[in-house]
Amino acid sequence: MKKEKFTYEKSGVNINAADNFVKFISSISSNNKGKKKFNNIGGFGSISNIPKYFKNPKIVACTDGVGTKIEIANILNKYDTIGIDLVAMSVNDLIVQGARPLLFLDYISINKINLKKLKSILKGIVKGCKISNCELVGGETAEMPGTYEKGKFDIAGFAVGVVDEKKILKKKNIKQNDLILAIPSSGVHSNGYSLVRYVLKNKKINLNNNNFLRKELLKPTKIYVKEVLNLIDNKLINSCANITGGGLEDNIQRVIPDGLVADIDLNKVKTKKIFKWLKKNNIDDKEMLKTFNCGVGFCLSFLLKNINLMLLEKLLQVKIKLNLMVKLTGLKKIKTAVFISGTGSNLKNLIEFSKEKRSPITIDLIISNTSQAKGLQLANRFSIKKKIFDYKNFRNTEKDITALLKKEKIEFICLAGFMKILSNDFIKKFNGKIVNIHPSLLPKYKGLNTHNRAIKNKDKFSGCTVHYVAAKLDSGKIILQKKIKLLIKDNEVSLAKKVLVQEHKLYPAAIMKIFN
Sign of the CA dihedral with 406 first, then 408, 411, and 412 last: negative
**Total count of residues recorded for the chain:** 516
Rounded Cα distance between 208 and 211, Å, is 7
Q: Which amino acid is at 159?
A: A
Asked if 429 and 469 count as a contact pair (C-beta separation under 8 A), the reply is no
Q: Pairing relation of β-strands 260-263 and 100-110?
A: unpaired
Contacts of 435 (CB under 8 A, 6+ apart): 412, 413, 414, 415, 466, 467, 468, 469, 479, 510, 511, 514
Inter-helix orientation angle 345-354/492-515, to 10°: 30
181 near 324, Cβ under 8 Å?
yes
Catalytic residue among 189, 438, 467, 504: 438
What is the DSSP annotation of 472-507?
Answer: STT-SPEEEEEEEEPPTT--HHHHHHHHHHHHHHHH
Distance from C-alpha of 28 to C-alpha of 421, rounded to nearest angstrom: 70
Rounded-to-integer distance, Cα 331 and Cα 62, Å = 31
Beta pairing, strands 326-331 & 260-263? antiparallel
- Catalytic residue flag (residue 438): yes
d(CA 347, CA 332): 21
**Rounded to an integer, what distance in angstroms lies between the CA atom of residue 95 and that of residue 84?**
16
Rounded CA separation 334/51 (Å): 44
Cβ neighbors of 14 (< 8 A, separation 6 or more) are 112, 113, 143
Angle between helices 115-131 and 82-94 (to 10 degrees): 30
Output the CA torsion sign for 386, 392, 396, 399: positive
> Closest Cα partner for 370 from 440, 300, 417?
417
Helix, strand, coil shares of the chain, percent, nearest 5, are: 40, 20, 40
Q: Which residues are catalytic?
A: 438
